[in-house]
């Protein structure tokens, strides 16, 4: 930032080298601000820059990359990870991660699950009493990432000694703090900032880094059957689906709308009456317009237990839908009847109906009380 230079992870490198890691430190021009001027026009290319530098140093599937990143540098890492996940190892450490948006959260989640990748994240409002404060709210977008993949992120909140703020520390205050190191000629400023992890912190992070990689999540595509059970001649009297076609409204007729459905019985079905097939088609006559809109000619066909066309009465619907259920209820069975559909398709009319043209509920209740007989409870 403009008031400090940082080498946050420098204390880690000796430990990492002893454990066999090669260390590559990268300061992002759009985030590290070594020139003290943000370069937002470059931030969209930060992921490509990370990948280019890694390629130059020979990173690849045989030499996977583990990333330590803080603040805005996290977005550069996540962009690179999403683009080339095979380059990266399974474990990564982030500090106060800042990302600009969550548009790629679902894609990142899919990559991390498919590759067995997870994140270990530290959040702190500041790394020391003399350090500049960090608004945890800046991590808000990253927290939205976490909501999409909670099983892929372990987050630890830290509060350094003698620091006040809203964050409640989950580790001792001395777990990881920051030091301002006054060394001339190393940084633009008279001193640079370096994190000082405790032995406990180093042990926890190294244990995480060396733990087995998560098992990838295998997504199994379940192919939908090409035909419904009814189309294959299978009878299921316990679950029945009916369709009622609403008549055209006056305003629809005034606009010239016409019906686009054709209903027919399913032939050869082992039940009487058989299920019905509803076919959705373009009602316009053949001609130039029909050629122009050829993809509208046929919209599909579907099979249901029965299709009530627009001239079906409330009594017709009750006789097929409600009456068998009330009879089953009178025999002591549990039954459910409900209407489902978009607003304006006729659910309320079918279930309730106006006075003199009552719907399923009215007819069902009358039949229920008529069938109970004296002294029986509902």
Looking at the fold, whether 48 and 106 belong to one and the same domain comes out as yes
Judge whether 113 lies within some domain.
yes
Binding residue per annotation — 345?
Answer: yes
Judge whether 377 lies within some domain.
no
Q: Which residues of 95-106 are buried (b: 16+ CB within 10 A; e: fewer)?
A: bbbbbeebeebe
Looking at the fold, whether 44 and 186 belong to one and the same domain comes out as yes
Looking at the fold, whether 277 and 138 belong to one and the same domain comes out as no
End-to-end CA separation in angstroms for the chain: 75
Question: Which domain CATH number covers 325?
Answer: 3.40.850.10
Binding residue per annotation — 348?
Answer: yes
Looking at the fold, whether 60 and 192 belong to one and the same domain comes out as yes
Judge whether 221 lies within some domain.
no
User: How many helices, marked H, and strands, marked E, lie in the chain?
Assistant: 12, 12
Judge whether 231 lies within some domain.
no
Q: Which domain holds residue 74?
A: 5-209
Judge whether 158 lies within some domain.
yes
Binding residue per annotation — 343?
Answer: yes
Judge whether 175 lies within some domain.
yes
CA angle at 122 for the pair 18 and 35, rounded to the nearest 5°: 80
Structural domain ending residue among the three candidates 209, 228, 257: 209
Domain count, the chain: 2
Closest CA to 317 of 226, 261, 246: 246
The answer to pTM > 0.75 is no
Looking at the fold, whether 153 and 289 belong to one and the same domain comes out as no
Binding residue per annotation — 126?
Answer: no
Looking at the fold, whether 134 and 254 belong to one and the same domain comes out as no
Looking at the fold, whether 13 and 148 belong to one and the same domain comes out as yes
Looking at the fold, whether 331 and 203 belong to one and the same domain comes out as no
Judge whether 184 lies within some domain.
yes
Q: For residue 92, give both structure tokens.
A: 């990564």
Looking at the fold, whether 197 and 265 belong to one and the same domain comes out as no
- The three-state secondary structure class of 219 is coil
Residuewise pLDDT in 10s, the chain (378 residues): 455 567 788 888 899 999 999 999 887 755 444 444 555 555 567 888 899 999 999 888 888 899 999 888 888 899 899 999 999 999 999 998 988 776 678 888 889 999 999 999 999 888 877 677 777 778 888 888 888 888 899 999 998 888 777 778 899 999 998 888 887 776 666 777 789 999 999 999 999 999 999 988 876 666 656 677 777 777 777 889 999 999 988 888 888 888 888 898 888 887 888 889 888 876 665 554 544 444 445 567 888 999 999 999 999 999 999 999 999 999 989 999 999 988 888 999 999 999 999 999 999 999 998 888 766 665
Looking at the fold, whether 40 and 165 belong to one and the same domain comes out as yes
Q: Which residues pair with 120 in a beta bridge?
A: 93, 154
Looking at the fold, whether 181 and 312 belong to one and the same domain comes out as no
For 78-110, what is each residue's pLDDT tens digit?
A: 989 999 999 999 999 999 898 877 667 888 888
Binding residue per annotation — 336?
Answer: no
Binding residue per annotation — 58?
Answer: no
For 276-308, what is each residue's pLDDT tens digit?
A: 988 887 666 555 454 444 444 556 788 899 999
Looking at the fold, whether 136 and 22 belong to one and the same domain comes out as yes
Our measurement of the distance from residue 317's CA atom to the centroid of its chain's CA atoms, rounded to an integer in Å, reads: 40
């Amino acid at each position: 930032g403009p008031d400090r230079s940082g080498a946050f992870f420098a204390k880690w490198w000796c430990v990492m080298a002893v454990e066999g890691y090669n260390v590559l430190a990268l300061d992002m021009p759009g985030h590290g601000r070594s020139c003290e001027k943000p370069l937002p026009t470059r931030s969209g290319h930060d992921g490509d820059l990370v990948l280019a530098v890694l390629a130059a140093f020979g990173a690849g599937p045989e030499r996977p990359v583990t990333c330590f990143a803080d603040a805005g540098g996290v977005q550069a890492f996540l962009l690179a990870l999403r683009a080339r996940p095979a380059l990266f190892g399974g474990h990564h450490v982030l500090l106060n991660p800042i990302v600009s948006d969550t548009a790629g959260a679902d894609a990142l989640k899919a990559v991390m699950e498919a590759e067995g990748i997870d994140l270990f994240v530290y959040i702190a409002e500041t790394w020391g009493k003399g350090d500049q404060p960090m608004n945890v709210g800046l991590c808000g977008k990253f927290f939205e990432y976490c909501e999409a993949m909670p099983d892929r992120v372990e987050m630890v909140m830290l509060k350094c000694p003698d620091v006040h703020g809203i964050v409640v520390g989950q580790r001792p205050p001395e777990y990881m703090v920051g030091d301002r190191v006054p060394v001339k000629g190393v940084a633009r400023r008279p001193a640079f900032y370096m994190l000082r992890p405790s032995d406990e912190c180093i042990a926890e992070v190294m244990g995480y880094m060396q733990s087995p990689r998560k098992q990838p999540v295998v997504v199994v595509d379940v192919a939908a059957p090409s035909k419904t059970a009814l189309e294959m001649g299978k009878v299921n009297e316990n679950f029945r689906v009916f369709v009622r076609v609403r008549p055209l409204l006056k305003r629809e007729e005034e606009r010239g709308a016409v019906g686009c459905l054709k209903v027919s019985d399913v032939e050869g079905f082992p039940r009487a009456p058989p299920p019905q097939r509803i076919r959705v088609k373009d009602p316009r006559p053949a001609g130039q317009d029909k050629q122009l809109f050829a993809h509208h000619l046929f919209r599909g066909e579907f099979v249901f237990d029965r299709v009530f066309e627009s001239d079906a009465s409330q009594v017709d619907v009750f006789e097929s839908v409600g009456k068998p259920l009330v009879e089953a209820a009178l025999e002591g069975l549990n039954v459910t009847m409900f209407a489902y559909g978009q607003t304006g398709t006729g659910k309320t009319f079918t279930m309730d109906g106006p006075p003199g043209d009552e719907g399923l509920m009215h007819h069902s209740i009358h039949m229920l009380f008529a069938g109970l007989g004296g002294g029986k409870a509902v």
